[in-house]
Amino acid sequence: MQRIVYSATDVSARAFLILAFRKAGLDVRADAAGNLFGRWHPGGVFPPLTDDGEPAPVRVAGEGAVATGSHFDAIPGSGIYDGTVGVLGALAAVTALRGAGYTPAVPIDVVAFTSEEPTRFGVSCLGSRLLAGALAPAAADALVGTDGVTLAAARADAGYTGPLDDVRLPDGAYASFLELHIEQGARLESAATPIGVVTAIAAPAAGWANFSGGGGHAGGAPMASRSDAALAAAEVALAAEAAAVASGGDGTVATVGVWDVSPGAVNAVPAAANVSFDVRDPDGGVRDAVVAAVRAAAEAAAARRGLALDWSVVSADPPASSDGGVVSAVEAAAAEAGLRSMRLVSRAYHDTLFMARVARTGMVFVPCRGGVSHRPDEFVSEAHLRGGVEVLARSLAKLAGRYVAPAEVGGGEVEKEL
């Protein structure tokens, strides 16, 4: 399957989610980027109308709401669980809490983020970046998609008009944010553990090493005098592997995943080679040290082989750590549900990475079969889905507290939040 942001399938999914949110009794709003919010108000009461007859804003500065959610877009050839589990799972958790008679002390938002995948506009976590103020609105609107359409035009075509300046969350809007997600790895499955408690998210530093200036005929160019751009690129790939292995970090990973070699002929020495790099570690210092080692190797290879090097870093977002209180709430929720849990680090991007800039955050992982993700055979069992939703629901109840009506408060003292 695939669901590309602002496409027909994306718009259809939005219509489904809006209807589902409303059926669940949530107050539904969308911002100018298309982030969707379904709010459960304390006591189940909708906010009053403003003086002009419009509903009060979903997010109010200082309100300290609790939020949960994920993304619903999907890359081409994807599975059906990545992201979607965190949106429908959040809705299921809220529905379960309501059915159990629980009402929160503060609002709880179910959030469906716009475009966590970079498929169309080349920027990951587009909606959460804008919510956190990590991407300038003008720069976002000017992004050009793979189809040549700007983000400003694409979102308008999908029905989201209005200035992106209004998307950023007010200070204090969310006290905490918790995301349910599939692990996209095999650690939980290998440990036969149904719940993962994420302690940190390792944001990547990514970019390009582009070599040029060599080339020649495969038969006419002597080995001793060649300037082979592809061999320089190969040195970069091997240096990335070696630096990651020797980093001493918590599972540092480095990937050279894109190769563009020209002229691309069997009988021609490569004259240019452009290769990507992606380095990740939950410790920003460790990650950046690996990147520096890869760059040093690229510069040495270029000098030794008589090539020009164009080195660029496209992104280097800071890693994020989960809040200790949120981690404790998730672990306690898992224990109450009778489910084993283990702490782990996420080396994949998530919207939580940017929500960590505006709220206390955490993540709940559930196992995916074989650790497979971003493929059609991506799979999560019903039992693991059920367990993840229950842990999410119990965690939300702890983070949002319990609403107590004034008539229930006795002795002049307000009952403490659960």
Q: Please write the tens of the pLDDT for every residue from 39-62.
A: 998 865 555 455 665 544 443 334
Judgement on whether residues 186 and 107 belong to the same structural domain of the protein: yes
Residues of the chain with pLDDT under 70: 43-63, 403-418
Our CA angle for 249, 201, 363, nearest 5°, is: 135
Q: Please write the tens of the pLDDT for every residue from 116-164.
A: 999 999 999 999 999 999 999 999 999 999 999 999 999 999 999 999 9
Judgement on whether residues 24 and 113 belong to the same structural domain of the protein: yes
Residue 402 domain flag: yes
Residue 414 domain flag: no
What CATH code is carried by the domain that includes residue 95? 3.40.630.10
Map tokens 């003086």 to a residue. 51
- DSSP class of residue 406 equals G
3-state SS record for 54-119: CECCCCCCCCCEEEEEEECCECCCCCCCCCHHHHHHHHHHHHHHHHCCCCECCCEEEEEECCCCCC
What pLDDT is attached to residue 103?
Answer: 87
Judgement on whether residues 284 and 297 belong to the same structural domain of the protein: yes
Judgement on whether residues 105 and 222 belong to the same structural domain of the protein: no
Judgement on whether residues 143 and 88 belong to the same structural domain of the protein: yes
Judgement on whether residues 195 and 225 belong to the same structural domain of the protein: no
Judgement on whether residues 14 and 108 belong to the same structural domain of the protein: yes
Domain coverage including residue 61:
8-201+319-408
What CATH code is carried by the domain that includes residue 211? 3.30.70.360
Judgement on whether residues 68 and 120 belong to the same structural domain of the protein: yes
As a whole number of angstroms, the distance between CA 366 and CA 187 comes to 10
Judgement on whether residues 260 and 233 belong to the same structural domain of the protein: yes
Judgement on whether residues 306 and 194 belong to the same structural domain of the protein: no
Final residue belonging to a domain, choices 288, 316, 344: 316
As a whole number of angstroms, the distance between CA 63 and CA 160 comes to 25
DSSP for 182-251, written as a single string = E-SSSHHHHTT-SEEEEEEE-PEEEEEEEEES--EETTTS-GGG---HHHHHHHHHHHHHHHHHTS-SSS
- How far from 115 is each of 24, 129, 206, 332, 369, CA to CA, in Å? 24, 10, 19, 32, 25
As a whole number of angstroms, the distance between CA 119 and CA 3 comes to 10
**Which residues touch 413 (CB under 8 Å, ≥6 apart)?**
none
Final residue belonging to a domain, choices 289, 316, 343: 316
Final residue belonging to a domain, choices 283, 316, 349: 316
Judgement on whether residues 194 and 261 belong to the same structural domain of the protein: no
**Which residues touch 50 (CB under 8 Å, ≥6 apart)?**
56
Residue 413 domain flag: no
As a whole number of angstroms, the distance between CA 61 and CA 48 comes to 17
- The amino acid present at 268, given as its one-letter code, is A
Residue 2 domain flag: no
Judgement on whether residues 156 and 277 belong to the same structural domain of the protein: no
- How far from 401 is each of 26, 64, 68, 334, 373, CA to CA, in Å? 18, 12, 15, 17, 34
Three-class SS state of 280: strand
As a whole number of angstroms, the distance between CA 321 and CA 352 comes to 10
Map tokens 């979607």 to a residue. 84
| Burial profile 89-117: b = 16 or more Cβ within 10 angstroms, e = fewer | bbbbbbbbbbeeebbbbbbbbbbbbbbbb
For residue 57, whether the previous peptide bond is cis, meaning omega lies within 30 degrees of 0, is no
pTM equals: 0.86
Residue 56 domain flag: yes
What pLDDT is attached to residue 169?
Answer: 96
- How far from 175 is each of 67, 306, 320, 362, 404, CA to CA, in Å? 8, 55, 16, 12, 19
Residue 81 domain flag: yes
Q: Select from 138, 209, 170 the least CA-distant residue to 59.
A: 170
Residue 342 domain flag: yes
Number of domains comprising the chain: 2
Q: Positive or negative CA dihedral for 45, 113, 320, 82?
A: positive
Residue 282 domain flag: yes
Q: 170-173 long-range CB contacts below 8 Å, 24 or more apart?
A: 170/59, 170/60, 170/61, 170/62, 171/61, 171/62, 171/358, 172/61, 172/62, 172/63, 172/64, 173/59, 173/60, 173/61, 173/62, 173/63, 173/64, 173/65, 173/358, 173/359
